[in-house]
Amino acid sequence: MATLLTDEEFIELWETHKSAAKIARLTGMNERKVHTRRRTIEAKYNRPLHAADARTNPLRQSGYEHSARHHLGIENGTVLVFSDAHFWPGIRTTAFKGLLWAINELKPKAVINNGDAFDGAAISRHPRIGWDSKPSVVQELKACEMYLGEIEDAAKKAKLVWTLGNHDARFENRLANTVPEFMAVGGFKLKDHFPSWIPCWSCWPTEDVVVKHRMKGGIHATHNNTVNSGKTIVTGHLHSLKVTPFSDYNGERFGVDTGTLADPSGPQFVDYLEDNPTNWRSGFAVLTFHNSRLLWPELVHAMAPGFIQFRGQVIDVSKL
């Protein structure tokens, strides 16, 4: 049974250990609830509770910025990477259900949300298309909270990382440029609403593998990403879902596109695409590590409504 703590007791524990995982072990609380309590206390007392790995930059220590990198240090195990969910109220896609299935089956060490879970349609810099109807910011936030909450519940002890995407950035960019006086007010940062997810620009499962929302553009982006970086690069943004191997004197590495967790024909894209065909695919990536070496990256593809394909099998996820 979890230990009940006063705010003062929680603050003292946090200042001593500076780690949600350690406090969860000591008190029996769920780690997600520790993060939620931490954010609540920060907002209530206008007092930042710094994590042990906070950067020395005072802005980052105060939570104003996303840290640039987060290192996982994976030696053996699986990491699931999804991107471009563009979560929309009332829509649970086949790829999303497939992700829940994969979390339960593969028991990953980490789940990486590789950007653009939040769409920000109502605050886009692009002009409105005709009389289209878009969900409000609060409706989108609630959708993200609900769907990411399902992932959190399924992932249990897996580390949860969110590499910021360009659509995600709309939330803070609009506020920072419109009402800069509200800097540091609780709720004005996207991560305030998702305390279980570690925000960053790039996540490094190992020193040779980088997960980030985008790098190069165009049809050859996966090839150009790995050639130019000298690393295996796992990106989203382009929705194409593919693996491009590359070998040179340094050995073998990969450019991976994690596709989109959304339905390519979903309402997020209908007017934007003007009924044009797209080279998009719905799914996500599975990264498996052995002795810190990445094995050949695998893809899960949403092949039909309610069905995914993975490792030569067709799997029914319609009831998830």
> Tens digit of pLDDT for each residue in 41-88?
887 887 888 776 444 444 444 444 456 899 999 999 999 999 999 999
Q: Pairing relation of β-strands 283-290 and 251-257?
A: unpaired
Query: What was the pLDDT predicted at 73?
Result: 92
C-alpha 162/C-alpha 213 separation (Å) is 10
Please say whether the beta carbons of 183 and 176 come within 8 A.
Answer: yes
Given a cut of 90, whether residue 4 has pLDDT beyond it is no
Helix 94-106 / helix 137-155 crossing angle, nearest 10 deg: 30
- For residue 318, count other CB atoms closer than 10 A to its CB: 11
Helices (H), 113-187: 137-155, 169-178
At residue 270 the predicted structure's pLDDT band, cuts being 50, 70 and 90, is confident
Query: What was the pLDDT predicted at 141?
Result: 94
Mean pLDDT of the chain: 90
Query: What was the pLDDT predicted at 155?
Result: 96
Query: What was the pLDDT predicted at 168?
Result: 92
Q: What is the pLDDT of residues 239-263, one digit of tens each?
A: 999 999 999 998 999 999 999 999 9
C-alpha 114/C-alpha 310 separation (Å) is 20
Q: What is the pLDDT of residues 102-117, one digit of tens each?
A: 999 999 999 999 999 9
Output b/e per residue, 261-288; b: 16+ Cβ within 10 A: bbbbeebbbeeeeeeeeeebbbbbbbbb
Three state DSSP letters for 248-260: ECCEEEEEEECCE
* Rounded average pLDDT over 269-281: 91
Query: What was the pLDDT predicted at 37?
Result: 87
What is the sign of the dihedral through the CA atoms of 160, 73, 166 and 60? positive
For residue 171 the two structure tokens come to 């939330």
Query: What was the pLDDT predicted at 21?
Result: 79
Q: What is the pLDDT of residues 123-144, one digit of tens each?
A: 887 777 777 778 999 999 999 9
Angle at 202 between CA 230 and CA 43, to 5 degrees: 170
Please say whether the beta carbons of 83 and 236 come within 8 A.
Answer: yes
Query: Quick one: which of 91, 111, 77 has its CA closest to 284?
Result: 111
Query: What was the pLDDT predicted at 55?
Result: 40
111 strand-pairing partners: 80, 160
pTM, two decimals, is 0.80
* Rounded average pLDDT over 3-8: 87
Q: What is the pLDDT of residues 164-176, one digit of tens each?
A: 999 998 998 899 8
